[in-house]
A = this chain, B = another copy of it.
Amino acid sequence: MVPSSQGPHVNTVDVLLGDRSYPIEITSDAADRFAETIIDQLGDLSHVLLIADESVDQAWGRPLAEKLAESATDRPIRVSATTVASGEPSKSVAEFERLLAWVLSEGGDRRSVIVAVGGGVIGDLAGFVAASFARGVRFVQIPTTLLAMVDSSVGGKTGINLPAAKNMVGAFWQPSLVLIDTAVLATLDDRSYLSGLAEVIKYGVIDDAEFFGYLESHAGDLVARDPESLRHAIGKSCQSKANVVGDDERETSGRRAILNYGHTFAHAIESTAGYGTFLHGEAVAIGMQMAARMAIDTGMCDRALWERQTRLIQACGLPTTWADAQPDAMLPVMMRDKKVAHGKLRFILPTRIGSVEMVGDVDESAVRDAIVKLKK
């Protein structure tokens, strides 16, 4: 991650997946160069289909569409653009079908490239459209939330929801390129922005003790959205996720499960609190606390980990407890979690900062205890 000597600072993370490898380029205030980068990196670019979240379209979608259309190349690039309503309801079969019909009506073919501009919802939806149109076309991701930058931009998970379940339909489909400009984060409200830091902290706990130390000493800079600290933190987060995904692209070996640290609790928190009460990252922060609590109680790690994690989460303006937690409501949700194997609860628990283990066959009372202790 060496800044280039000319032009803006660019931190690059290479996601290594054989012939599906791709780079993530992390910059600040350099989105006006994205059109150029896309043209440079993707050969044979004749038709771009830009799908933007309506909330970022004017500031980030349209300017990119215009730059792409204006680009002086031998053959002009045809640019089609559409927007999608913000929020989870857009990840529907109906919206999937609408976008596919739109790609077709715009003359899309197997050489077309889909560019997604937005957060996780847009990336998941547009990514599944890219995976499915003509049995797969190329796909560029421009994540505009911190959560999407450090989570969904790596790993190739795309998908939509069914009325009865989230993320049960989709494909593993890797992007050809991910472009990140930290300047886009300036427009996020505080709560949404800070929520993304929970996943950043997660990478420190599960994979990288040195990075955890960096976060401890730079929490103030990150809360203040300092560009240099953000580029470093986003780059390190993407690198940690890329290492895990590179070992287990299709989630078959179990390695990829470590990314779920705090998440079995978090899904139960989001579900029992009512979707919308907590942002995903807030629930993940509390969920990591519950998981660390279980790890202490079962003697897997020492109290120092718990204390450092608590302090860092607090320094990032995120919750560490949940006064209204109801174990009787949360446990049945956790038992229905798709990561439950043959009716046994499994958890990712820390052994020390930078290292976690999967623990199967966990006693229900230990889970209950951890939830109750986090009621404050």
Residues of A within 8 A of B (CB): 93, 96-97, 100-101, 104-105, 109-110, 131-136, 157, 159, 162-165, 168-172, 250-251, 338
Which 4 residue pairs of A and B lie closest in terms of their CB atoms, listed nearest first?
Answer: A93-B97, A135-B170, A132-B169, A100-B169
CB distance A110 to B338 under 8 Å?
yes
Is the pair B110, A169 in contact by a Cβ cutoff of 8 Å? Answer: no
Do A162 and B338 have beta carbons less than 8 Å apart? Answer: no
A136 touches B171 (CB 8 A): yes
Among the listed B96, B101, B135, B168, which residue makes an inter-chain contact with A134, where contact means beta carbons less than 8 Å apart? B168
In the complex the two chains form, is B101's CB within 8 Å of A135's CB?
no
Chain B residues within an 8 Å CB radius of A104: 162, 164-165, 168
> Does A170 lie within 8 Å of B132, measured CB to CB?
yes
Q: How far is the CA of A138 from the CA of B216 in the complex (A)?
A: 45
Residues B250 and A133 in contact, CB atoms below 8 Å apart: no
Minimal Cβ-Cβ distance residue in B for A131: B171
Q: How far is the CA of A165 from the CA of B101 in the complex (A)?
A: 9
Note all chain B residues with C-beta closer than 8 A to A133.
168-169
Return A310 CB to nearest CB of chain B, in Å: 34
Most buried by B among A134, A159, A164, A172: A134
Query: In the complex, what distance in Å separates the CA atom of A49 from the CA atom of B165?
Result: 18
CB distance from A365 to the nearest CB of B (A): 26
Query: Which listed residue (B100, B162, B170, B172) contacts A162, Cβ 8 A?
Result: B100
**Are A134 and B338 closer than 8 Å at their CB atoms?**
yes
Cβ of A136: which chain B residues have Cβ within 8 Å of it?
A: 171-172, 250
Q: Is the Cβ of B338 less than 8 Å from the Cβ of A105? A: no
B171 near A132: Cβ-Cβ < 8 Å: yes
